[in-house]
Structure 1
Amino acid sequence: MGKLRDSLERASEAAATRPIPMSAGARMRFLVRSEKGSTRAVAARLGVTQRTVERYVKGTLRRPRPDLAERLEREVRKDWQPRVRQRARKRAATSTGIVIETRARFGFTAAPGSTDDARMRRITQHLPSAYAARLFDAQAAGATEQQLRRIAAEGLQEIYFKDRGRRAHDLAVEFTDIDYIELDF
């Protein structure tokens, strides 16, 4: 996965109102419930045997190996509070928008006489809900990391660099070399 796609997932997970279950048994029971009682499906998701899942559910196993504990936490976070996450995404796509904080290399295609050399910039910018909706729709449609970057670059270009159309009318922004990116909604 790419940095922007991962950041969208982390922002969505941060919208949860309650923490995920703490013990391995409680996490396994949650996954079994989310898979409608199928320990076989949970075992396939985690890469363990069905019997191992049953032992955690029953309580005979309590402390998973570090790699299993990491996979278990990741899978629980994927399914935790889906309606709360969906409401937060809908609110961002319709009214509140999204905040992008990034350190990346921005290159420009601009009018003659101005510099177009790419350079690292740290930017924190609120993007309107239209860009958030486009990002969410593209992510749901299975867009590539490059397509997601193009949408984010267009939003930063219009809001940050062009100041909502008040300056730099011929400017085109390229969003490359992402050092880090964090999204919040």
Structure 2
Amino acid sequence: MGIIGDGLDRAVQQAFTRPIPKSAGAQMRYLVKQLKGTRAVADLLGVSQRTVERYVKDQIRRPRADLAQRLEDAVRARWQPRVRAQARKQAATAAGLVIHTRARFGFTAAPGTSDDARIRDLTVALPPQYAARFFSAQDAGASEQQLQQIAAEGLGEMYFRDRGRRAHGLEVQFTDVEQVEFDL
């Protein structure tokens, strides 16, 4: 995905109530159960069906580093779907989310104002409607640029325009994103 999409996924994963399985065998067994067969898991991970069966039976215990990462990512993406959905719903309807970012911000504003772009570190609480926009866009397969635009609108509204109390007409340009983290 991208830096913003990955940040949203990490924020939702913080809501997990149990850790993912640790051993490769336990992770494989979980995926086999979720995907209902060893062939689907083998296709997902890019290994043979026999390799998956060996992990399930604990005949192989330590995967290669690249396979271990793919395996962990696949399990993490499917782990506790109801907890994940509940956390997203809570953020989108009541709690909102907090965005921590380090990026270049520039502005389009009235003549005579300072619109020079510069790197800023911001931590801003966004209301639930922005969380809902993030999650619905992510579910619809939005690009990183579209998610970045939603973040720019949210940061512009909440931080720079202070919910419409100042800097009317200010348009925020959110570029050169170095880091983004979200908290639910």
Could you say which TM-score interval applies, normalised by the shorter chain? over 0.9
Q: State the alpha-carbon separation in 2 of the partners of residues 59 and 53 from structure 1.
A: 10
Match of 2:25 in 1: 25
Letter in 1 for 2:65: P
Letter in 1 for 2:73: R
Letter in 2 for 1:21: P
Match of 1:71 in 2: 70
Percent of aligned positions with the same letter in both sequences?
Answer: 66
Residue 112 of structure 1 deviates from its aligned partner by 1.4
Alignment partner of 1:58 is 2:71 = no
Letter in 2 for 1:69: A
Residue 14 of structure 1 deviates from its aligned partner by 1.6
Q: State the alpha-carbon separation in 1 of the partners of residues 26 and 2 from structure 2.
A: 30
Alignment partner of 1:112 is 2:87 = no
Which ranges in structure 2 are unaligned for 5 or more consecutive residues? Answer: none
Q: After the TM superposition, which segments of 4 or more aligned residues of structure 1 sit over 6 Å from their partners?
A: none
User: Residue by residue, what CA displacement relative to the aligned partner does 1:40-85 show, whole Å, maximum 9, x if unpaired?
Assistant: 0000111100000000101111111111111111111001001100
Residue 2 of structure 1 deviates from its aligned partner by 1.3
Match of 1:181 in 2: 180
Q: State the alpha-carbon separation in 1 of the partners of residues 143 and 63 from structure 2.
A: 34
Match of 2:9 in 1: 9
Taking the TM superposition and a 5 Å limit, the aligned residue runs for 1:126-141 are: 126-141=125-140
Letter in 2 for 1:94: T
Q: State the alpha-carbon separation in 2 of the partners of residues 171 and 7 from structure 1.
A: 26
Root-mean-square deviation over aligned CA pairs: 0.7
Letter in 2 for 1:75: A
Match of 2:159 in 1: 160
Match of 2:35 in 1: 35
With the length of structure 2 as denominator, give the TM-score of the two structures: 0.98
Which ranges in structure 1 are unaligned for 5 or more consecutive residues? Answer: none
Letter in 1 for 2:42: A
Q: State the alpha-carbon separation in 2 of the partners of residues 167 and 102 from structure 1.
A: 22
Q: State the alpha-carbon separation in 2 of the partners of residues 4 and 125 from structure 1.
A: 15
Letter in 1 for 2:9: E
Residue 29 of structure 1 deviates from its aligned partner by 0.2
Aligned length: 184
Match of 1:102 in 2: 101
Q: State the alpha-carbon separation in 2 of the partners of residues 136 and 20 from structure 1.
A: 23
Match of 2:169 in 1: 170
Q: State the alpha-carbon separation in 2 of the partners of residues 77 and 84 from structure 1.
A: 12
Q: State the alpha-carbon separation in 1 of the partners of residues 81 and 143 from structure 2.
A: 23
